[in-house]
Every structure is written in C-alpha cells, then in structure tokens.
Amino acid sequence: MSRFTLHIATISGIPIYLHWSFWLLLLWVGLSAAFSPHATIEFVFWRLLLLVGLVVSVILHELGHAFAAKAYGIPTRDITMYPFGGVASVARIPEKPLQELVVALAGPLVNFLLIGVLFVILLLMGEPAFFSLEALFQLGHGFNSFSVWLYSLATMNGILALFNLLPAFPMDGGRVLRALLAAKLPYVRATQIAALIGQGFAVIFILLGIYSNPFLILIGFFVFVAAAQERQQAEQRNAMQGFTVAHALLRQVPTLSVNQTLDDAIRLLLNSQARSFLVLDPLGEPVGSLSREQIIEALSEGKTRTTALSHVMDTQLLTVSPLFPLHEAFRLLSEQHKPFLVVTEGRRILGIVDTENIAEFLLIQRAEQLRA
C-alpha cells in the first residue's frame, strides 16, 4: 500500500483506509467549490462537510456488508475508500444465493437507516422531512445551513442506495440479480448473465460520464473490469468441479531444513524455479512454509542473512488429503494467503498444491477439451 494511503480507523477489527487517490477527490471538491461563482469560505466549508458526511455514509454502507458477511462466518480484510466509492474486501463471496442476497442488501439498507435518522433529526428541529435535490445545490448559500446539510446528506444517501441497487454486477443490485438467477440456474450461467448485464451498465456509465461527471467514467471502468474478473472466477471454479487436489499435485517439493538460514533460502530461490519452500525438521517432518514474499519481507524488515529460518517461516501449515475437492483448495489458498497446501496421506507427505499448479492443470484440461 502506498504511504499516502491513510489508515483512519479500525472498527470491529476491520481496518479502514483512505486510498491515496482519494486526495484527488478532496482536491477536486475543494477546488471546484473555491472556483465556483459563489465561492465564499462558508460555501467551501459546507461542501467539504458534505463530503465528510458522504464518506462516513459510504463507510457505514460497507460496514453493513462486512457485518452481514461476518454473520455467515466470512471475515473482511479491510475497507478502502476510493474516489468512486468504498470497497469492502470480503474474504469470499458467499456461494449460497440467499447469503449473497442478504450481504448485498445489507449495504443499501444502512443508507435507508441513515436517511431515517437524518429525518428524525430534522423533525426534532421542527423541519419537515423530505428529499431535496435543491438543498444539494443551495448548501452553503447562507440561511440555516445545518438543516440544508441534513437535507443534502439524506438526499445523497438516497442517491447512493438507489445507484448501488442498479443491477450493474458486481455492484450490490447486480449481486442481488445474480443471487436470484442462481436460485434457478447453475451458478456459472447466472454469473455470466449478470456479468454481461453489468458490463452493459458499465458502458452506459462511461458514456453518461463523458457528458456529465468524470467519476461516473471511473465507476464504469471499475464495474467493467470487476464483472469480467468475477465471471472468470466463476468459470474457473466450474472447470475445477469434479477434480481433487490429487489431479494438480506437485510431487517434487522444494524443501529447506529448519536449521538452515535466510541466506540458504535466498540462494535456493535464485538458483531454482521454486517460488516457495516446505521447511522440514531434522526428522523430515514438515514444520513450516517459506514463500518468496516472506523472504523479501524478512530482508526489508532488516533481518540479516544469518537469521535462522525458524524466525522467518510461517509455522501454520494447512494440510489436506489428496481427495480434497480442487475448488475448495483454490478457495483456501486465496482466503488464507498461503503459498501452498501440504497434501498428506496418513503421515506420508505426497506433495503440495499451489495456485500456479492448479492454473496449469486447468490450462491443460482446457486444451485437451478443445482438441476433443
């Protein structure tokens, strides 16, 4: 992560970041307010305060997704705010349609709750409660700006909720659509249809953005790429169906001894094709794993080459049987950030399985299918 990315809070164990590009948005809002014909200190102040309210609303929206996912036992790594919105990095998307539906709806639901709270505050202040696009344009032009700010924020939350509910997969509404389709169709087919519709929306966003708001162009690109990624993931998963880790087993396991040093690991990394190593104790029992990333990290943290591997390696090995489903292995690898899973039968190590070997297996599989 860039050093301009700011960690602003940690809520319920989930770190919340402002991505470095977010400062561009702040600059844009500040400058466009400052150079508008109504540029008074008051005007710029209320514009920036509206941005703060909006950011808090988006973070709460993402926390809605995160808490719903948590209820199904799915952790969230972090929430990052980009100029075009927030992204909650949920460890995985639930495969059960009902669960995906609930997690997708939890975000917009938070915005509707916020609107309720804002309306109650307005009513307590003796003001009527309604949405007002006019307030958005008037904000900062004098006269009781606090209530105008409340109207503006409620309206922004309404726009946020409705925009997110558009069936533009993988935005929230698109996830709802996929979940509904997946209740009737195979998961991969449901994803392909939802992704196609999502990319249609993405093109519309980009075209509309050219004539109105540049952030709509950003959102369009984001949706287009993300839809393609999710379709690819679903297709990959589908291709793994019916296979076990035995099919993608890497039998020649690169190993290191726990008595060796970081220097030995660096030499082996440079002199071989291996990207990660299984660390064995003197009896030949597996005690840890060491990946290229861990070696680099250890060096950048100031560890010397004479450091024993036991201080650098990851001691949490994940072990599976050769009959373990391949798609589950793939999910474990990406969810747990492990370089590989150790495949054992009884006490015997058969080999390891990593994402690269799984990808290779799938490519071979596909090439043979195309030939047939």
Q: Please, which residue, 85 or 286, has the CB nearer to Zn ion?
A: 85
Q: Residue 106 is encoded by which pair of tokens?
A: 């939890």
Q: Please, which residue, 50 or 66, has the CB nearer to Zn ion?
A: 66
| CA angle 147–148–149, rounded 5-degree value | 85
**68 near 77, Cβ under 8 Å?**
no
- Smallest gap, in angstroms, from Cβ of residue 87 to Zn ion? 9
Q: Please, which residue, 59 or 280, has the CB nearer to Zn ion?
A: 59
Number of Cα atoms under 13 Å in the Cβ half of residue 44: 14
- Smallest gap, in angstroms, from Cβ of residue 65 to Zn ion? 6
Number of Cα atoms under 13 Å in the Cβ half of residue 264: 16
- Smallest gap, in angstroms, from Cβ of residue 108 to Zn ion? 7
Q: Please, which residue, 47 or 61, has the CB nearer to Zn ion?
A: 61
Residue nearest to Zn ion according to CB distances in the complex: 107
- Smallest gap, in angstroms, from Cβ of residue 363 to Zn ion? 34
- Smallest gap, in angstroms, from Cβ of residue 341 to Zn ion? 32
- Smallest gap, in angstroms, from Cβ of residue 151 to Zn ion? 23
- β-pair partners for 90: 76
Q: Please, which residue, 164 or 199, has the CB nearer to Zn ion?
A: 164
Rounded to whole angstroms, how far apart are CA atoms 342 and 153?
52
Q: Please, which residue, 140 or 170, has the CB nearer to Zn ion?
A: 170
Omega into 37 within 30° of 0, i.e. cis?
Answer: no
**295 near 269, Cβ under 8 Å?**
yes
- Residue found by looking up tokens 């958005």 in the block: 136
Of 105, 139, 179, 155, which is closest to residue 36 (Cα–Cα)?
139
Q: Residue 351 is encoded by which pair of tokens?
A: 């080999």
Q: Please, which residue, 76 or 164, has the CB nearer to Zn ion?
A: 164
SS3 214: helix
Q: Please, which residue, 47 or 175, has the CB nearer to Zn ion?
A: 175
- Smallest gap, in angstroms, from Cβ of residue 162 to Zn ion? 12
Q: Which residues bind Zn ion (CB under 5 A)?
A: 107, 164, 172
- Smallest gap, in angstroms, from Cβ of residue 26 to Zn ion? 22
Amino acid at 189: R
What DSSP element (H or E) covers 187? helix 187-211
**197 near 168, Cβ under 8 Å?**
yes
185: alpha, beta or left, given left = phi > 0 and alpha = psi -120 to 50?
beta
